[in-house]
Amino acid sequence: DIQMTQSPSSLSTSVGDRVTITCRPSQSISSYLNWYQQIPGKAPKLLIYAASTLQSGVPSRFSGSGSGTYFTLTISSLQPEDFATYFCQQSYTSPYTFGQGTKLEIK
């Protein structure tokens, strides 16, 4: 199985901050990397697929980059509704593993 390691596990941030979350697969996955946002008590929501393609309807302050074994999710200016948990997931090969999550908390 491909292990997905996210960092940090949690981050205390403020509205307006620029935030970057990293995701490192245990082996190369080309650009087969998706990002999801989960608000407490809700189902995950797709933000970015294929490492850098923004899903329709997702605000442009979200962006993704990377390939191989290093990926990032960046939120350019945090909004109150962005305080949530973010998961990366590889779609390169089965089993389609997720990272452990990064929780953004209000400072």
Partner 1 sequence: QITLKESGPTLVRPTQTLTLTCTFSGFSLSTSGVGVAWIRQPPGKALEWLALIYWDDDKRYSPSLKRRLTITKDTSKNQVVLTMTNMDPVDTGTYYCAHIYTAYEEHHFFDPWGQGTLVTVSS
Residues that bind partner 1 (CB under 8 A): 1, 31-32, 34, 36, 42-46, 49-50, 53, 55, 87, 89, 91, 94-101
Instruction: Show the CA angle centred on residue 17, arms to residues 15 and 21, nearest 5°.
Output: 115
Pick between residue 32 and residue 62 the one whose CB is nearest to partner 1.
Answer: 32
Pick between residue 40 and residue 80 the one whose CB is nearest to partner 1.
Answer: 40
Q: Which of 86, 98, 29, 93 is nearest to 62 (CA)?
A: 86
Pick between residue 69 and residue 91 the one whose CB is nearest to partner 1.
Answer: 91
Pick between residue 78 and residue 86 the one whose CB is nearest to partner 1.
Answer: 86
Min separation Cβ 16 and partner 1, Å: 28
H or E segment to which residue 37 belongs:
strand 33-38
Instruction: For residue 87, give both structure tokens.
Output: 């998961």
Distance of CA 22 to the CA centre of its chain: 7
A 10 A CB-CB count for 53 gives 12
Min separation Cβ 83 and partner 1, Å: 17
Min separation Cβ 25 and partner 1, Å: 14
